[in-house]
A and B are shown apart, each in its own frame.
Chain A
């Protein structure tokens, strides 16, 4: 089964609201990454959080990591229509985090209505 599982599968909000997506994983990790994919496009790397970090910010993005619960969350504050995309979490296949083989979750599809 997938290393990363996101929920919800789909999320629809109004512009200006916050969006929270969650990701759970099964094995020990070295780091966890979040990516965004606009419809029909490639993935854009958003943020990487290491296993010894609990929280990380990048602009309107806030990522948390709880290694005891094997879960991470991505919060997008003050959402914009341009944030409409699918969001994926990804972990390395090895706890050492250096195999290069990323395991992706199924993704959360976010729709931000203007």
Chain B
């Protein structure tokens, strides 16, 4: 049973470009969460999605950031017009229905130059 998969593992973007981060949850999991980790800090919740629904986006910046989890395919975290402050590790996690434990992917390290 494959774990949570994220790609790309490393992404370099210039200021003003768009970044698209992908996450495939564990098989059988329908809940996806995105977190951001700045250097030397813990993870900060961004958004919680189920298939075709955003359940909680209270941690998402108001502008430039969006997330989706379509009926088919991976979840996508999209950052438009990236700035240097967006440089961070972005982790995706998934869980099964009613489960408390979240299983994390290896992360995507975004560097904005």
The verdict on A43 contacting chain B, using a C-beta distance below 8 Å, is: yes
From B14-22, B67-75, B102-110, the one touching the partner chain is: B102-110
The verdict on A59 contacting chain B, using a C-beta distance below 8 Å, is: no
Interface string of B70-112 (1 = CB under 8 A from A): 0000000000000000000001010100001111111100000
Residues from chain A with Cβ under 8 Å of B56 in the complex: 99-101
Contacts known (A88-B42, A103-B45, A106-B42); A33 close to B101, Cβ less than 8 A:
yes
The verdict on B12 contacting chain A, using a C-beta distance below 8 Å, is: no
**How many Å lie between the Cα of A35 and that of B59 in the bound state?**
20
The verdict on A13 contacting chain B, using a C-beta distance below 8 Å, is: no
Q: How many residues of B contact A (CB 8 A)?
A: 25
Contact A48 B101 (CB under 8 A): yes
Contact A2 B42 (CB under 8 A): yes
**How many Å lie between the Cα of A92 and that of B102 in the bound state?**
11
Contacts known (A100-B55, A101-B56); A43 close to B101, Cβ less than 8 A:
no
- What is the CB-to-nearest-CB distance from B106 to chain A, in angstroms, rounded to a whole number? 4
CB contact list, B16-67 vs A, under 8 A: 31, 33, 35, 41-45, 48, 55-56, 58-59
Q: What are 30 of the A-B contact pairs (CB < 8 Å)?
A: A30-B100, A35-B104, A41-B107, A42-B4, A42-B104, A42-B105, A43-B43, A43-B104, A45-B101, A88-B42, A92-B100, A93-B45, A97-B100, A98-B100, A100-B48, A100-B56, A100-B95, A101-B45, A101-B48, A102-B35, A102-B43, A102-B102, A103-B45, A104-B35, A104-B43, A104-B44, A105-B42, A106-B41, A106-B42, A107-B42
Beyond the given pairs A33-B101, A99-B48, A101-B45, 10 more chain A to chain B contacts, judged by CB atoms under 8 angstroms and listed by A's residue number, are A41-B106, A42-B106, A43-B104, A45-B103, A101-B33, A101-B48, A101-B56, A101-B58, A102-B45, A105-B42
Residues of A within 8 A of B (CB): 2, 30-31, 33, 35, 41-45, 48, 88, 92-93, 97-107
